[in-house]
């Protein structure tokens, strides 16, 4: 069983997946910081000095001055500001991945076109092998 596990781990795609997960986690932290520390503060300033991370809807009925106070009291809250931050974060990650994959595909170039293996019979218009000298369908002699 240990031998099978070593073979499984040594395969290239497992290691590639592990590296991708690690880089993805680090990239997610960078984008979270970008959203929370760079994008949302100026947006909140433009929209009237609003801190989106602290925006919430109190479901308990007791008034609280901040989200931290509501959480400390154990009140039920709907944290729509954190949700908005997550949406912006997702859009930025999706945009970054789109740009990266687009550039990788551009570097790869177009996929090679396979050489044709068949031709069309000029008499009956069926598909036949390139090497054929007589059509198997209409028995016409091909030049």
Q: Which helix (H) or strand (E) holds 129?
A: strand 127-129
Residue written as token pair 């991945």: 97
- Residue 115 to residues 112, 132, 142, Cα–Cα distance (Å): 9, 16, 20
102-137 residue pLDDT tens: 888 888 878 788 888 999 999 999 999 989 889 998
3-16 residue pLDDT tens: 887 777 777 677 77
The answer to whether 104 touches 112, Cβ cutoff 8 Å, is no
Q: Which residues of 118-133 are buried (b: 16+ CB within 10 A; e: fewer)?
A: eeebeeeeeebeeeee
| CA–CA separation, 49 and 86 (whole Å) | 19
Q: Is it the case that residue 52 has pLDDT exceeding 80?
A: no
Fold of 2-112: 1.10.1200
Mean pLDDT check: name the lowest of 5-14, 18-27, 65-74.
Answer: 5-14
Task: Please tell me the predicted confidence (pLDDT) of residue 36.
Answer: 79
Task: Please tell me the predicted confidence (pLDDT) of residue 12.
Answer: 66
Domain boundaries in the chain?
2-112, 115-143
């Amino acid at each position: 069983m240990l031998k099978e596990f070593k073979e499984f781990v040594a395969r290239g795609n497992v290691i590639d997946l592990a590296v991708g997960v690690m880089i993805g986690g680090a990239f997610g932290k960078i984008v979270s910081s970008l959203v929370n520390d760079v994008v949302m503060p100026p947006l909140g300033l433009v929209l009237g000095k609003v801190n989106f991370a602290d925006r919430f809807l109190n479901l308990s009925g007791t008034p609280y001055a901040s989200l931290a106070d509501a959480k400390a009291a154990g009140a039920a809250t709907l944290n729509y500001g954190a949700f908005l931050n997550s949406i912006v974060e997702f859009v930025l990650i999706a945009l970054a991945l789109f740009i990266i994959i687009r550039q990788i595909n551009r570097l790869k170039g177009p996929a090679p076109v396979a050489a044709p293996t068949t031709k069309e019979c000029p008499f009956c218009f069926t598909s036949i092998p390139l090497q054929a000298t007589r059509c198997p369908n209409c028995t016409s002699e091909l030049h």
